[in-house]
Amino acid sequence: EEDLDYSLKRRFVREDLYRHNRAMANIVIEAVKGQFGSELKLDKSSVKVPGVLVASGNDIIAMAKTVAGVRFQAYYPITPAADESFTLEEYEALSGEGSIVVFQTEDELAAINAAIGAALTGARSSVATSGPGFDLMVEGLGWAGQNEVPVVVTYYQRGGPSTGQPTRGGQSDLLSSVFASHGEYPRIVLASGDHEETFYDAIDAFNYAETYQVPVIHLVDKFLANTIATIPLPNLDGIRIVRGNLAPKGLSGYKRFDLSSVISPRAFLGDYVMWYSGDEHDEYGHIDEDPINRIRMFDKRMKKLDMIEKEIPEERRYSYFGSERPDIVMVGWGFVKGAALKAIEELNGEGIKASYYHIRMFIPFPRESITKIAREVGVDKLVAVEHNYQAQASRLVAMNTGITIGKSVVKYTGRPI
């Protein structure tokens, strides 16, 4: 009874929802007693195992955002992203520890702009969407890039184009997440391969966004979102919230886009007088199309990519599994990871030494490690494995390293490999 009551109160935060569900639970308890003579009980397991967490990918990301200190989530309902926001709504609290405002907007244009507005006030903010929604957010992301606003887009991929396969999965939006824009601005793109990666990647996304004052796109997909998995309880001891270069109080003549540093001190709305515009601007934010100013401001923003390249370690950008002297190296990303690790086992059983190179970040790209592997084992042993038609990650390998992966295993039916 005590455990049941605790679980219901955690699951249904609103008092009226709790009362209704508690009443229904009591009805079921009495019905079971009448049928079996006593209430059924689930004894605690005698197996000694470390703490584990059973959850879907949507739920894992919602948990991670709470741990990361997110205070504002905007969304417009879309499959398969909406469940994450629904989970956050179930536990929505407007004040106190772990409080998050979850805002359902009228469309995706409003969602990204609401998240940007929240970020300008100092709130850690994000949106969750899928392909069609992301398309509508592209102009807003450009505004965030132009104005150096840290905002996170959790991008749940599904089968496209257009409405495509809304209840199926895919990885066909990689190139879109890397390049979608009119004009150029710095961004970071992460991709998660399983539930455990997803938890820590989601937290990193916010730290990166605020450290470098850039939009961050966190790629997951329908497969991961709706798969329920058992993972070790996340280790919260090593998690840090990094807010980046914040402007101190009491500055004289504050410049939001101060050219004296690549990462200008960031003040929140209300701290100082500031100007924001979608147009090119000067250090204060005033519109300024002078060619010299344009070069200075544009270079300032784009130099963030050099900082990101230097400061995010190569080993954070990829994982490697399997033989150090393989006969075949699968190159993939995202939800392909599970199938690739299983393939290593089966190939090893057939006497074929196999390995899997797992890309975890596309900006910045792990060019050094993939170049080293290709040089050591031979390009002819590399095989791209992806859930899209064009083997899009292999194209990014070629763009970033000059290495052409000539073999591929692709699947684009909406079903996982």
**Residues 118-165: pLDDT tens digits?**
999 999 999 999 999 999 999 999 999 999 999 999 999 999 999 999
Fold of 314-410: Rossmann fold (3.40.50)
Per-residue confidence at 92, pLDDT binned at 50, 70, 90? Answer: confident
**Residues 60-75: pLDDT tens digits?**
999 999 999 999 999 9
Average pLDDT, the chain: 95
Alpha-carbon distances of 348 from 20, 330, 382, rounded to whole Å: 55, 13, 17
Question: Does position 217 have pLDDT exceeding 70, yes or no?
Answer: yes
Per-residue confidence at 4, pLDDT binned at 50, 70, 90? Answer: confident
Name the residue ranges covered by the structural domains of the chain.
Answer: 2-44, 54-232, 314-410
Mean pLDDT across 306-310: 98
> What DSSP assignment string belongs to 263-283?
SPPB--BTTB-----SS-B-T
Cβ atoms of residues 351 and 189 within 8 Å: no
Question: Does position 186 have pLDDT exceeding 70, yes or no?
Answer: yes
Per-residue confidence at 45, pLDDT binned at 50, 70, 90? Answer: low
pLDDT of residue 55: 95
Per-residue confidence at 44, pLDDT binned at 50, 70, 90? Answer: confident
pLDDT of residue 95: 66
Alpha-carbon distances of 295 from 255, 259, 289, 298, 308, rounded to whole Å: 18, 11, 10, 5, 20
Helix (H, G, I), strand (E, B) or coil at 100: strand
More confident residue, 386 or 90: 386
pLDDT of residue 60: 97
Task: Please tell me the distance from the alpha carbon of residue 382 to that of residue 404, in angstroms, as a whole number.
Answer: 9
pLDDT of residue 182: 94
Per-residue confidence at 47, pLDDT binned at 50, 70, 90? Answer: low
pLDDT of residue 9: 87
Q: Give percent above pLDDT 90 in the chain.
A: 86
Task: Please tell me the distance from the alpha carbon of residue 137 to that of residue 135, in angstroms, as a whole number.
Answer: 5
Strands 328-333 and 354-359: parallel
More confident residue, 183 or 40: 183
Q: How many CB atoms lie within 10 A of CB 399?
A: 13
Mean pLDDT across 388-411: 98
Mean pLDDT across 374-390: 98
Question: Does position 5 have pLDDT exceeding 90, yes or no?
Answer: no
Fold of 54-232: Rossmann fold (3.40.50)
Q: List beta partners, residue 330.
A: 356, 383
Question: Does position 268 have pLDDT exceeding 80, yes or no?
Answer: yes
pLDDT of residue 98: 67
pLDDT of residue 21: 94
Count Cα neighbours of 252 within 13 Å in the Cβ-side half-sphere.
Answer: 0
Per-residue confidence at 187, pLDDT binned at 50, 70, 90? Answer: very high
Query: Is the fold of 54-232 the same as that of 314-410?
Result: yes
Cβ atoms of residues 156 and 219 within 8 Å: no
Lowest mean pLDDT across 74-83, 93-102, 296-305, 317-326: 93-102
Token match 């089968």: residue? 159
